[in-house]
Amino acid sequence: MALRLGKELLYLCGAEVAHVGPSMEESLAAIREAFRQKGLGVAQQPPKTALHPVNEDAFLHAMPAYVPEFGAAGVKWVSGYPDNPPMHGLPYISGLLVLSDVYTGMPIAVMDCAWITAQRTGAVSGLAAQALAAPASVTAGLLGAGVQARTQLLALATAIPTLRSARVYDVAANAANRFVKDMGAVLPQFSLQIVDSAEAAVRDADIVVTAGPIRKEPQPLVRREWLKPGALGLPIDFDSMWTRSALGAGRYYVDDLEQYRYYEAQGYFRESPQPVGDLGDLSTGRVEGRQSADEVIVAMNLGVAIADMAMAAIVYQRALAAGTGTVLPL
Ligand SMILES: NC(=O)c1ccc[n+]([C@@H]2O[C@H](COP(=O)([O-])OP(=O)(O)OC[C@H]3O[C@@H](n4cnc5c(N)ncnc54)[C@H](O)[C@@H]3O)[C@@H](O)[C@H]2O)c1
């Protein structure tokens, strides 16, 4: 399929994006390269801009980025509405992504962004785990068993070949049950266990992922003494579930320092420790990763548009090659 630049764009619905989307292994490689470009200073990514129409915990984010190696320039317009799943039967995360032609600025694609968001958020945690997890990590502890938790576990299983088991806690028992059923089919080699408290999921876990609702006023659960020596914490829900002492238990990394500072200025992360660096710095070797098998590390992943655009460029090219999607007039 070929598009007439300036006359047409490609529209991809969620199922089409998922159909042509890269595997987790390919996604990890793409995300690694996107962070390297950010670390080298050649990718552009202003901090995301937020609207909060109904309350502080519901958001609409505009997330632009340019990643030269992928020929990708665009913006993701993504919402996070915590009440959607329980009250409306709608997903927490939804939105669209627009890609523009780098040389002329003409729009070339509009696509659903839910699959890309989940896949790249998993891959970012996978990348962080490759750099920061203790050697021979075996067990993951997951708080929150929703959409993101699935790709978090898939990415960790792909990135850390020694990982073999996961304990999962969700306030909604049916969410944990569905998670174990779905992920048991995807990762048959894994031992998956539902536990009845956050503490039971976190204690003795080598890698702890928290994927519950983001709250501007955190309701911390994870305590310092629950984290075993050498544990890696991977919050994708800001500091909503983490006590100050757990976040500061050891060295603290973020996915993008500039964006993190912007969020601090907005009133988030008031009690949080100072980051030693970000994933761009780690990927270029500007900051060091894990120093000992026993140190506790937390890597906070707020979500970066460079990752979205890298993934979207791959999806776009594969959709064109496969003749997938709908060509719309501009
Ligand atoms: N950092 C990023 O790049 C990024 C990207 C996408 C989503 N997110 C965030 O990830 C989080 C999860 O998103 P999702 O799409 O999986 O939502 P989801 O609604 O599908 O899943 C969230 C799950 O958390 C559970 N939960 C709520 N409170 C809990 C608690 N106290 N303890 C344990 N479980 C609890 C809910 O029952 C639900 O099953 C959201 O905060 C979202 O904003 C972050």
The answer, yes or no, to whether any atom of ligand 1 lies below 6 A from the CB of 122, is no
**Whether the CB of 47 sits within 6 Å of ligand 1:** no
At 4-17, the pLDDT tens digits run 999 999 999 999 99
321 ligand 1 Cβ < 6 A: no
CATH 3.30.1780.10 domain range(s) in the chain: 8-116+306-329
Give the model confidence (pLDDT) of 215-265 as tens digits: 888 889 999 999 999 999 999 999 999 999 999 999 999 999 999 999 999
Q: What atom of ligand 1 comes closest to residue 221's alpha carbon?
A: 31
Known catalytic residue at 76: yes
With a 6 A CB cut-off, is 64 part of the ligand 1 pocket?
A: no
Q: Out of 38, 48, 76, 228, which one is annotated catalytic?
A: 76
CA of 221 to the centre of ligand 1 (A): 14
User: Could you say which DSSP state residue 303 is in?
Assistant: -
Which CATH architecture best describes the domain 8-116+306-329? Answer: 2-Layer Sandwich (3.30)
Query: DSSP string spanning 222-262?
Result: B-GGGSPTT-EEEESBTBTTB-HHHHTSSEEEES-HHHHHH
Q: Which residue among 77, 92, 238, 311 is best mutated to probe the pocket of ligand 1, counting the most ligand atoms within 8 A of its Cβ? A: 92
The model's pTM is 0.97
pLDDT digits (tens, 9 = 90+) for 89-128: 999 999 999 999 999 999 999 999 999 999 999 999 999 9
pLDDT tens, position by position, 141-152: 999 999 999 999
Q: Give the per-residue pLDDT at 215.
A: 86
171-199 pLDDT per residue, tens: 999 999 999 999 999 999 999 999 999 99
Q: How far is the CA of 263 from the centre of ligand 1 (A)?
A: 19
Cα distances (angstroms) measured from residue 303 to each of 76, 109, 179, 263, 274: 11, 21, 23, 12, 18
pLDDT of residue 76: 98
169 lines ligand 1 (CB under 6 A): yes
- Residue span(s) of the chain under CATH 3.40.50.720 come to 130-304
Mean per-residue pLDDT of the chain: 96
Residue-wise burial string across 233-260, b where 16 or more C-beta atoms lie within 10 A, e elsewhere? bbbbbbbbbbbeebbbbbbbbbbbbebb
Reduce the DSSP state of residue 115 to 3 states and report it. Answer: helix
Average pLDDT over residues 16-34: 98
pLDDT in tens, 288-310: 999 999 999 999 999 999 999 99
CATH class of 130-304: alpha beta
Instruction: Please indicate whether residue 214, judged by its CB atom, sits closer than 6 Å to ligand 1.
Output: yes
